[in-house]
Chains A and B, each alone.
Chain A
Amino acid sequence: QVHLVQSGAEAKKPGASVKVSCKASGYNFPSFGVSWVRQAPGQGLEWMGWTSTSNGNTNFAQRFQGRVSMTTDTSTSTAYMELRSLRSDDTAIYYCARNGGSSLWYPFDNWGQGTQVTVSS
């Protein structure tokens, strides 16, 4: 059974960075890409980017370019998302989601439980 387990809630000050982890189990990790999606309070879903778990390639939404990093560790089947220069409007629940195949062009067939990130001074 596929499981994606994310790290716990984070509280950060504006300007800081946050790194969220997503540990996968129940499947061959390098065979499926991982995307990150967030939901701000009262808002809809917003795709942030994708990372290949086999070669480390990434694609990011333009609004996050230069501020986000997505990496993976195949030895522990864990994906990471780091967001820098945090602002108050980065307050959101951050989800990792497994793409249904190796590339970006697959829907999100399994999701982590979400990680609340709160940015406040």
Chain B
Amino acid sequence: QSVLTQPPSVSAAPGQKVTISCSGSSSNIGNNYVSWYQKLPGTAPKLLIYENNKRPSGIPDRFSGSKSGTSATLGITGLQTGDEADYYCGTWDGSLSPYVVFGGGTKLTVL
């Protein structure tokens, strides 16, 4: 089991909006920044969001992040078929090793 909990899958139609949740605890999300990664099939993960809600250069503003307490959320608007991928949240955990923890991943299907 992953330290961070994500829904296994979400789906929505093209053009719609979807949110992906990531739940943790005070030792990880509650006291650390959250990042989000997109993993397209057969490719390496890609950083989408860091420090809860910041986007690296080149990431469109269709992608957004937020954090409240011990949970974080990734939002994607204007869904495109190219957004079909696995999405992972990640953060640090000060109470255990491993220091870096990921969610189990969420498969996004664009119907």
Q: Which residues of A contact B (CB under 8 A)?
A: 35, 37, 44-48, 50, 59-63, 65, 95, 97, 100, 104-105, 107-114
Contacts and interface: CB of A to CB of B under 8 A. Distances in A.
Given A108-B35, A109-B47, A114-B44, A45 B105 contact: yes
B99 A61 contact: yes
A60 B97 CA distance: 8
A44 B103 contact: yes
A45 B47 contact: no
Given A50-B99, A65-B97, 15 more contacts: A44-B88, A44-B104, A45-B45, A47-B90, A48-B98, A60-B97, A61-B100, A63-B98, A95-B44, A105-B92, A107-B50, A108-B47, A111-B44, A111-B45, A112-B44
Contact of A47 (B46, B51, B99, B103): B99
Chain A facing B: main interface SS: strand
B44 A104 contact: no
B63 interface: no
Interface of B: 2, 33, 35, 37, 39, 44-47, 50-51, 56, 86, 88, 90, 92, 96-105
Contacts of A100: 50
19 contacts: A37-B45, A44-B2, A44-B88, A44-B102, A45-B39, A50-B99, A61-B97, A65-B97, A95-B44, A95-B45, A104-B99, A107-B35, A108-B90, A109-B50, A109-B56, A110-B47, A111-B44, A111-B45, A113-B44
